Amino acid sequence: MIERRSRLRRFLEIEVPVLAIVAFALAPYAWMVLTSLKPQSEVTQTPITYLPAAPTLEHYAELFQRTSFGGNLVNSLIVACGAVALALALSVPAAYAFSRFRFAGRKVLLVQFLVINMFPIVLLIIPLFVLMRQLGLLDTYVALIAGHGTFTIPFAVWMMTSYMNGIPAELDEAAMIDGCSRLQTIRRVVLPLAAPGIVTTAIYVFVTSWNEYLFAMMLSGNTVRTVTVALQSFIGEFTIQWGLLTAGGTLVALPVTILFLLVQRRLVGGLTAGAVKT
């Protein structure tokens, strides 16, 4: 009897609130997917219907046939993967140095990496725009990847430093005693152990770059237009193309969702293992 009451209390006090929060968070996405499956006549009709009477993929077909959304998806994928490669190439060696070496200004530099993320991103737009224009890099992949790196690399360094601190330095010393150089130790010992943290950092950078709008709008044009800017083009001054907008939003959310499902275990392991004092 007591066990039954405890289960009921747990259900009412923990599981019901959690389910309510999850339902509240997922409701907009469910509404977006359902709207993308409605015919155009049903999207604009009143009263509003929640479920599509005759589900259709006409908005998805129109999205690829009449717009350049397919190319925009490819652009976003290239920019996001480029930002991940740039962030990992810089943050992993920097994190190893911050974790293993003690040098003057180490703590100050770490704090600076964290402080950079406290500034509004809009403050960086004009300097970066002027710089890219002078270099002739506007509307190129290089401009967008470099722009996304300005606000993803500092936090990536902080995340990887916390994770590196969780790997015992004695393993490095043992590997070097056995004849490994510093680079061989990093490649053969540290990187395999840091894999969950690297995956976590890569996912953070990818999702941030994939969903970024401000830099993509300012540094890109017709040649390299990402999906976030492309979605905004469906919103006009006097009308909104709800069918195309919801279909595009569903496609934009799909890669990130699949990515989280594939690497969920490594992501949780990386986040918890990196939660150590720097």
**Contact, 252 vs 231, CB < 8 A?**
yes
In whole angstroms, give the CA distance from residue 201 to residue 267: 9
Same domain, 182 and 256: yes
Would residue 278 count as lying in a domain? no
Question: Looking at residue 86, which CATH number applies to its domain?
Answer: 1.10.3720.10
Question: Do 208 and 225 share a domain, yes or no?
Answer: yes
- No. of helices (H) and no. of strands (E), the chain: 16, 0
Q: What is the pLDDT of residues 178-227, one digit of tens each?
A: 888 888 888 888 888 888 888 889 988 999 999 999 889 888 888 899 99
pTM of this structure: 0.84
Q: Are residues 82 and 52 in the same domain?
A: no
Residue 101: inside a domain, yes or no?
Answer: yes
Q: What is the pLDDT of residue 103?
A: 83
- 63-67's contacts with Cβ under 8 Å and 24+ in sequence apart are 63/244, 63/247, 63/248, 63/251, 67/230, 67/244
pLDDT tens-digit readout, 70-83: 999 999 999 999 99
Predicted pLDDT at 277? 46
Give 189-196 contacts, CB < 8 A, sequence gap 24+.
190/96, 190/164, 191/92, 193/167, 194/92, 194/160, 194/163, 194/164, 194/167, 195/266, 196/163, 196/266, 196/267, 196/269, 196/270, 196/273
Query: Do 114 and 23 lie in a common domain?
Result: no
14 and 64 within one domain: no
Same domain for 123 and 180, yes or no, is: yes
Q: Are residues 33 and 138 in the same domain?
A: no
pLDDT recorded at residue 274 = 46
Measured from the Cβ of residue 103, the count of other Cβ atoms closer than 10 Å reads 8
How far out from the chain centre does Cα 270 lie?
15
> Helices 141-165 and 195-211 meet at what angle, rounded to 10?
150
Return the closest-CA partner of residue 159 out of 264, 80, 274. 274
Residue 5 and residue 138 share a domain:
no
Judge if 115 and 42 occupy the same domain: no
> How many structural domains does the chain have?
2
Inter-residue contact 249 to 210 (CB < 8 Å): no
Range of the domain at 254: 58-273
Q: What is the mean pLDDT of each run of 10 residues along the chain (278 residues)?
A: 67 83 89 89 80 87 89 94 94 91 84 79 85 90 91 88 87 87 88 86 91 89 89 83 90 85 65 48
Same domain, 87 and 40: no
